[in-house]
């Protein structure tokens, strides 16, 4: 469903990605692992054209989306939840979801609230008043409301309490039954529990790709992720 081929990208004069290629097929969860600063978040931003690729190709549902406007990519059905969540902090939960509806060709607020029923009790609260876990729920719910066909999430468990992280993992497990997911995640156990395939990113390139079992058997974690 999503193909990234030989992408190079830079921040100004500083090159960050060096020929990254990856694929997310229908009905699978693909996770990107790597140390901080190796380019994982930049991969997602480049797919959304928040960072313009210097070369390479990105295709989504068979269509070339390389360099297309970010809003056009989103309307095509590519959902993106950034690491900072990027909710509208002064708007209510309901208005945040309504904003997602405005930007969508096939909004589905009810499905989002089925995944996160607690948000039904918070519809009148402003985003800035929510806990970190509730803000993360809202960020994902907003992408679901927008009618995404594939979800990209950047460090969704970062800063969450263990019990909230477990709740999030259950939701992502259910969400994966509805759509493929591209996940950047530092929590190794969550990655192993969710992923069908794992890419390890090292210094802006792909150092390993395989199933969780293949990763464990190859000792890729010890080789690429341990200090």
pLDDT at 43: 96
First to last CA, the chain: 34
Between 3.90.1150.10, 3.40.50.1220, 1.10.357.10, 3.40.50.300, what CATH number should domain 2-77+149-224 receive? Answer: 3.40.50.300
* pLDDT above 80 (res 13): no
Residue 92 pLDDT grade (very low, low, confident, very high; cuts 50, 70, 90) = very high
Would you list the domain boundaries of the chain?
A: 2-77+149-224, 86-147
What is the number of other CB atoms lying within 10 angstroms of the CB of residue 26? 11
Q: And the tokens for 163?
A: 């019990």
Residues 6 or more apart in contact with residue 1 via CB below 8 angstroms: 24, 25, 26, 60, 61, 149, 150, 180
Relative to beta strand 197-202, strand 205-210 is antiparallel
Residue 48 pLDDT grade (very low, low, confident, very high; cuts 50, 70, 90) = very high
Average of per-residue pLDDT across 26-50: 93
pLDDT at 227: 47
* pLDDT above 80 (res 103): no
């Amino acid at each position: 469903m999503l193909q990234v081929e030989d992408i190079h990208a830079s921040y100004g004069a500083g090159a960050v990605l060096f020929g990254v290629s990856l694929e997310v097929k229908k009905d699978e969860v693909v996770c990107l692992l790597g140390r901080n600063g190796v380019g994982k978040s930049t991969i997602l931003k480049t797919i959304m054209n928040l960072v313009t690729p210097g070369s390479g190709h990105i295709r989504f549902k068979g269509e070339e989306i390389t360099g297309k406007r970010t809003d056009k990519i989103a309307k095509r059905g590519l959902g993106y939840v950034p690491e900072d969540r990027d909710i509208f902090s002064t708007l209510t939960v309901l208005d945040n979801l309504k904003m997602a509806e405005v930007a969508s060709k096939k909004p589905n607020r009810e499905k989002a609230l089925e995944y996160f029923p607690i948000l039904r009790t918070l519809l009148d609260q402003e985003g800035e008043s929510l806990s970190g876990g509730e803000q993360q729920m809202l960020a994902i719910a907003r992408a679901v409301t927008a009618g995404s066909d594939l979800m990209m999430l950047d460090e969704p468990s970062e800063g969450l309490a263990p019990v909230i992280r477990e709740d999030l993992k259950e939701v992502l497990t259910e969400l994966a039954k509805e759509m493929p997911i591209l996940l950047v995640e530092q929590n190794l156990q969550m990655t192993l529990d969710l992923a069908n395939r794992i890419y390890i990113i090292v210094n802006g390139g792909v150092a390993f790709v395989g199933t969780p079992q293949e990763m464990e058997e190859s000792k890729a974690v010890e080789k690429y992720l341990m200090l």
